[in-house]
Every structure is written in structure tokens, then in C-alpha cells.
Homo-oligomer: A and B are copies of this chain.
Amino acid sequence: MKTYLDCYPCFLRQALTAVRFTGADEAQQRAAIDRVLALLRQIEPTATPPEIGDRVHRIVRQVVDGDDPYRQAKAASTREALALYPRLRALVAEADDPLDVAVRLSIAGNIIDFGPDHTYELWETVERVLAQPFAVDDRAAFRAALDEAEWVLYLGDNAGETVFDRLLIETLELPVTYAVKGGPTLNDATREDAEAAGLDRVAEVIDNGADAPGTVLARCAPAFQRLYDQASMIVAKGQANYETLSEEGERVFFLLQTKCPLIARDVGVEEGSIVLKQG
């Protein structure tokens, strides 16, 4: 997905939210904003929002001189989600259609996001998403692809959301390779976060070699790129994976909530929708 002019104020707002989140002082906040203003004047027209977001959050990390300012927040998100895990697993176990419930829960977990906005109520979101009609509903194609696939490449998104992904992976009757980020970016899950969510017990956890949001293929490690090329079915979680992979064709299935008006418009749905979309 291309970067719209509407994204520019949002990058600035995200930078401010992120740098404050780290406890930065006023001078550090000003330094971050000034560098993001300079960055925004130099954006290549073809850059996707996560490619720019990557550079924005890199500036924030540099300004506060921290390797992972979201480490504690990510651990807290994972703990919060793990506390719900028994209830969530019971929902799947008792469902008439466990796969449907597990898909919905995985999408519900996508509410955990420190990018556009980080206020949410997790259990309320679960209840909403369980009842909410899909705005894009490629569930039949998703089931058909699962029947054909020998394994699934599952592209994770945020820490905490990982726990919801684990439930879906436990419901799939296929080997899953779960890809996390190669380094910290915003609250995206790294190997440490995936393991804290117990994903290593249900999937092979790999990292994509990149510390950018979404999946910026050109930035990923060669080993990940080869795996990506080989996969016949890819589950891509969250907005940033949609923004970076929306042109990648029908083997990719996007599971997300639309939390940004521009992404919602690009998908062709309302903000606040739940989406299972084949690429």
C-alpha cells in the first residue's frame, strides 16, 4: 500500500507518542520531532507506511538511546493475553466451529497495537469480534487453502497478539512456521516475545532478519526470503503486513482489524472492521 499524505501527520503523532512512552524529556522529544520532520521531507514516493514507520521508530530509539524501549510494555501485553488464554482456549474447545472461533480470536488479538492508538480493552474486543460480521470474508478460500497446504508460514505482528495467534495455530492441523521480527520495532513481537507467549511449543519460530514493522521483503534475511518464496500459504497478521504485502497475490491471507482510516479505505471497508482477505 502506498503512503498517503494523510499518513504524514500520523507519523508525527506516532513519533511523539512513542518518544514520550519511553519517558524522554522535552529536549529529546523536540529532537525526535525535528528529525522526523526532516525525514518526512525526504520520503521516496514508493515507500510503504511501515518502511517510513521503521525509520520513525529508529529515530525514536536513537534519540532515547535505548535498544528496545517497548520491552516492558510488550512483556505486559503478553502477560495480559496469557491471563486470558485459558478462557480463550475454552471458547475454541466448546465451539461448534473451532476454526472459525480461533480465526476470530486471532483477529481480536490484533487490537493490541501501540502504533496508531494504544487504548483498548482486550476482553471487550474478544466479545465484539466473536459477534462481528466480517467486512471482507474470504474464510471459504482460507479453509480451502488450508486443505491444500502442507505447512503454513505465519507472519506475526505484535507482542500479546502472539498468544491469540498461538490459539489459531493450535487449531490448525498443519505444521506452522511463525515469523517474528529480527529486532525491536515498536511493540512488534521478537523471538523473546514469541517464546514468552509459548509459540515455540506449537510452531517453529524464526525471525525475518529485519527490525522493521510489517514484512519489508527487501530488508529481510536471505533465509527468510527463501522460506517466503517456498510457502504455498501465508497468514499475515495486522495492518503493517497488509501495507507491505498487499500486492503479493492470492497465497497470502490477511487477518486484521482496520484501525486506520487509510488502510480501511485501501481494503474497501469501514474503520473498525474485521477482515480475512485473500491477497
Contacts and interface: CB of A to CB of B under 8 A. Distances in A.
A33 B16 contact: no
Nearest to A11: B9
A13 B261 CA distance: 14
Interface string A154-188: 00000000000000000000000000000000000
Nearest to A35: B41
A186 B16 CA distance: 27
Interface in A108-162: none
B13 A9 contact: yes
B9 A29 contact: no
A12 B8 contact: yes
Interface in A1-51: 5-6, 8-10, 12-13, 16, 29-30, 33-34, 37-38, 40-41
Given A34-B41, A37-B37, A37-B41, A9 B10 contact: yes
A37 B12 CA distance: 10
Given A37-B40, A37-B41, A16 B12 contact: no
Contact of A16 (B9, B13, B16, B30): B9
A29 B5 contact: yes
Copies in the complex: 2
Contacts of A40: 37
B5 A16 contact: yes
Contacts of A6: 16
A253 to B, nearest CB: 32
Contacts of A29: 5
Interface string A84-120: 0000000000000000000000000000000000000
A9 B9 CA distance: 4
Most buried by B among A9, A34, A38: A9
A120 B34 CA distance: 34
A10 B16 CA distance: 12
Contacts of A16: 5-6, 8-9
Given A8-B33, A8-B37, A9-B9, 17 more contacts: A5-B16, A5-B29, A5-B30, A5-B33, A6-B16, A8-B12, A8-B16, A9-B10, A9-B12, A9-B13, A9-B16, A12-B12, A34-B41, A37-B37, A37-B40, A37-B41, A38-B41
20 contacts: A5-B16, A5-B29, A5-B30, A5-B33, A6-B16, A8-B12, A8-B16, A8-B33, A8-B37, A9-B9, A9-B10, A9-B12, A9-B13, A9-B16, A12-B12, A34-B41, A37-B37, A37-B40, A37-B41, A38-B41
